Structure 1
Amino acid sequence: MASLWKTGLSAFLTQISNPKTAIVYGGIFAALLPPVPSTGQKLALPPMILCVESGWYVIVAIAFSAPAARTVYQRAKTAIDRVAGCVMALIAIALIVGN
C-alpha cells in the first residue's frame, strides 16, 4: 500500500509541476467562461477539474494496462494528436476573435 501512495504522490507532483496543464486549462477557461465568473463558478471549478483529471488518468491507466489497447493507440496516435491539435487551435482562434 505504501508504494501505491508513493506512486500517487509522484504522479501528483509530476502533473502539478507540468505547465502545460495550467496553460491548457487557462486557455479553455479564457475561451469558454464569462468575463466575470460567478462565485459559484469559481468555487465549482477546482473540484470539477480534480474529478476530470483524476477520472481521465484512471481511465487511461486501466485502458493502457491491456496490450491490445496499447497496440490500437499506437496505430491511431498520429490521428489523435492531429485532432487534439485542431481542437486546441480552434480554442485559440475563439480567444483571438473574442468568441
Structure 2
Amino acid sequence: MDLTTWLSLVAVCVMGAISPGPSLAVILRVSISQSSLHGVLAAITHGLGIGFWAFLTLQGLAILMAQHQDIFAVLTVLGGLYLAWLGVKAWRYAGQGSDVNVEGVKSSYWESARDGLMISLMNPKAALFFLALFSQLIPHNMDALIKFQLWATVFVIDTGWYIIVALLLAGGPVLAWLRRHIVWVDRGMGTVLILLGLKVAIGSFVS
C-alpha cells in the first residue's frame, strides 16, 4: 500500500474517531464514573468490535475482487457516492451529535469491557462505512499483508484514541476544546469524505 493511500485512510479514521457520538459517550461514562482502567478496557474492546467490522468488510471485498471484478467496479463507484453523501451530511448536520451523557453506576471491569465491545458491535453502519471506504483505497492485488495493514490501522487508531480519552481527556481541556469546535471537526471529516468520493466519481468517468 502506498503512503498516500495509507494517509488517506488514517485521516478518515482519525476524524471519525474523534467526532463525538455514542461511542465517546460510553467511554467517557465508564472512565468518569468508574476509573481510567475501566475506560481503557472499554477502549480496547471497542477497538476489537470496530476491527471485527473492518475484518468482515475486507474479507467480503477480497472475494469480490477475486471472483466478480464487474461487481467490485460497480461497488467502488457506489462506495464513492456513499462517502460523498456522508460528507454532505457531516456538513449539513455538523455539531448536532455532540451531546454526551457521562452519568453511570458502578460496574466491574468485565461490564466495562462488555459495554465498549457492544457499543461497536451494535453499530452495523460501521460495516457500511468500511465497505465504502475500503473499496476506494484497496489495490486490486490485495494480499494478506495489505489486509492486515488496513485492519491494524483501523484498530490502532480507534483503540488509541479512546485510550487517550480514558487516560487524559475525560473532563479535560482537550475534550472541552473538541466539544466547542465539533462543528469544524465534523466539517473537516465531511470535506475529506467528499474529496474521496469525488476522486472515485471523476476517475470512473476519465477511465
* Aligned with residue 73 of structure 1, among 134, 153, 178: 178
Q: What's the offset of the Cα at 1:76?
A: 0.8
1:1-99 mapped onto 2 (5 Å cutoff): 3-98=108-203
TM (normalized to structure 2)? 0.41
Q: How many residues align?
A: 99
Which amino acid in structure 1 is aligned with residue 193 of structure 2? M
Rate the CA distance shift 1:13–1:95 in 2: closer, same or farther, 3 A. farther
User: What root-mean-square deviation, in Å, do the aligned CA atoms of Structure 1 and Structure 2 show?
Assistant: 2.4
Which amino acid in structure 2 is aligned with residue 24 of structure 1? F
- Give unpaired runs (5+ residues) of structure 1: none
Residues 64 and 70 in structure 1, CA contact (< 8 A), matched pair in contact too: yes
More helix by share: 1
* Higher radius of gyration, 1 or 2: 2
**Higher relative CO (CA 8 A, sep ≥ 6), structure 1 or 2?**
1
TM (normalized to structure 1)? 0.76
Higher mean alpha-carbon deviation, 59-68 vs 13-22, is at: 59-68
